[in-house]
Amino acid sequence: MNVGAYSATLSLASGGSLALVLDASESAEAAQAAISTLVTGLLTALPARVACSLYFLGGAAPYSPGDFPLKAAGWFRENRGRGSILAPVAAALDTQPDTPIVIIGAGPIFDLEDWADTPLLARTTLVAMGASLQGEAMYAMEVAHPSPNELFQRVHDPVAAVRIGGDGFMPLGWGNAGYRLARLADAFLLTGERLEEFGTTLRFLAAPGGTVRAAATLVSGQTRAIALEPEPAPTERLAWQGSLTGAERAIFQAALRHEDFSCPSCGGRHRWDVLTCTEGTALLGTPVYPSLRAQPGQFALLQPGQDAVRFRVTASDVLPLEPGRVVVREGQRGTVYAYQPAAARWAAAGPLQPYHPVEGGGCYVVLL
Amino acid sequence: MLFSCDRTGFPLVQIPGTALRLHLLPVSKVQFERYLAEPGAVGDDWYSAVLAVNPRASYRAAGDADRERLLLTGILPDEAVHFARWLGPGFDLPTADEWRRGYCALSSCYTWQAELDRALAQAAPAARELVGTLRRLLNPAPLHQLALMEGGVLEWVRDGARWAGYGKPRPACYEVICEPLSCPPVTPMRAAERLPFFGFRAVKRG
């Protein structure tokens, strides 16, 4: 078993999500004004980035929470007399498995027992604005007559951090720049903390048939698993960004022969593996390949051709070298890691040497 | 046997040689709740009164002792007719004769499993689960056993101008022996009383 290349999308609403289900039934008629006040207060307190949805018990149609203050009375009229039945809205809520649910009403929900011990009720808070919504049974957490602020504190529990990892996981690229590569024990992870937006696309290597998971830690400290559905990643075609200048090409060709070269910056001679000339006045030295430094990134791939040396600068901290081998940027150096199929882990295999060949493309890699 | 589904996603069975379709099962609480969830149907107070007669059991956790509690009983005939009309054109409560014809046809039908499985693929998830639970509990051979025409409740039927009940409930539910093929339907003493052993199934004509 070797390592496979996959892609996946992590969907996670920034600031979390919340589904409100309101009771317009006969048993909640006397509590309608109190329900409206509570919902208006809660919606005012919720940050705009919380993805909120609104339903009525007995129905599956979603309503726009933003319109609630203006249209609440009409919506209650529209749904008046629906029985206190969860089934229709439960079918809609089952499609949002990570969304906390708040049901606000009065009097028993007759079919609540059909969802006993299910994930749906585990993420549900019942809010009784009159008689209990579950009678003497205890199917879900229930609070009575909370203030908008109390309810906000209880239900607003946004994501504080996300960690993605798993068997043989090695991220190659990710669309959300807020995520960082991390190493915990012998495992590589992708972590994001205190981000406005946690959703991301990602490409990664992993053990075929293994498990790659995303776990969110909420502000309250609770953790929640988030579904990831990896798919085999298509082979990526390299897009070259430019060509070395004539002087840079001469340095590159000398370096491949492990011969000293003449530095265009200081005029002196440097060893073949020097990438930054420190003889000049520049504090951090002068790159021997100014063309590469013009692009922000971690590694540069160089491909010699008949008349030119093309290059591409990569943004990710990880670059695949050949099947089962990658280089990982660790501060000012690169470390080569080799995949260990038996342990589904990546083990360090030594530092990255300048002009390390990359299999398959006739390329060489240097650390920027 | 030809099966189909009504608007709640619960199965109907066509009586061979007729255009008559009967609910496969007496109307269950989870099925009736589709109607209850509609705006302005019957309301929570009405349903609470009905449940007080025969409390609800969850179709997801029912055992054999709960069988009758899965079914909607305690309903009056006129209320049942309202539900039947809500199901769509042609729906009604069966006559005593229609119920007996259904009983005869289903009690002589032993090869129904594959066709029912095909129909259930199109049914509401709750209907699939409920039928699955009953199959597990009853291990039925003739279809009338799965249909709870035996071992269910008394079901409202039109007997001329009056309402009566047919069915073969378990003795624990209703102690009087009823044999649909040889006895007249049971007439309740007080037609306006909610009775825990009286439920119904609808029929679709044409």
Tens-digit pLDDT profile for residues A153-194: 888 888 899 999 999 999 999 999 999 999 998 899 999 998
Which of A19-28, A122-131, B58-67, B112-121 has the weakest average pLDDT?
B58-67
The pLDDT value given to residue B136 = 93
* CATH architecture, domain defined by A17-155: 3-Layer(aba) Sandwich (3.40)
Q: What average pLDDT does this structure show over A63-82?
A: 95
Distances from the Cα of B99 to the Cαs of A197, A202, A284, B149, B186, in angstroms? 62, 62, 95, 9, 13
Of B44, B45, B59, the CB nearest to A114: B59
Question: CB distance A83–B61 less than 8 Å?
Answer: no
Report residue B182's pLDDT band, with 50, 70 and 90 as the boundaries.
Answer: confident
Q: How large a percentage of chain B has pLDDT more than 70?
A: 100
Of A334, A49, A10, give the one whose Cα is nearest residue A191: A10
Strands A141-144 and A124-128: parallel
Please name the residue of chain A whose CA is at the shortest distance from the CA of residue B125. Answer: A91
Indicate the SS3 state at residue A256. Answer: helix
The pLDDT value given to residue A14 = 60
Q: Assess B62–A contact: CB distance below 8 Å, yes or no.
A: no
Whether residue A314 is predicted with pLDDT greater than 70 in this model: the reply is yes
Q: Domain A4-12+158-232 belongs to what topology?
A: Immunoglobulin-like (2.60.40)
Q: Where in chain A is the domain with CATH 2.60.40?
A: 4-12+158-232
CB within 8 A of B189, min separation 6: which ones? none
From CA A214, how far away is CA A228, in angstroms rounded? 7
Chain A residues with CB inside 8 Å of B9's CB? none
In the block, which residue shows the tokens 């003739």? B142
Mean pLDDT (chain A) is 91
Q: Where in chain A is the domain with CATH 3.40.50?
A: 17-155
How long a stretch of residues is chain A?
368
**What's the domain count of chain B?**
1
**Mutation target among A63, A111, A115, A136 for the B interface, most CBs of B within 10 A:** A111
Q: What average pLDDT does this structure show over A219-237?
A: 84
The pLDDT value given to residue B191 = 74
Question: CB distance A26–B40 less than 8 Å?
Answer: no
Whether residue A209 is predicted with pLDDT greater than 90 in this model: the reply is no
Report residue A235's pLDDT band, with 50, 70 and 90 as the boundaries.
Answer: confident
Q: What is the ipTM of this complex?
A: 0.92
Which range marks the domain in which residue B141 is found? 2-204
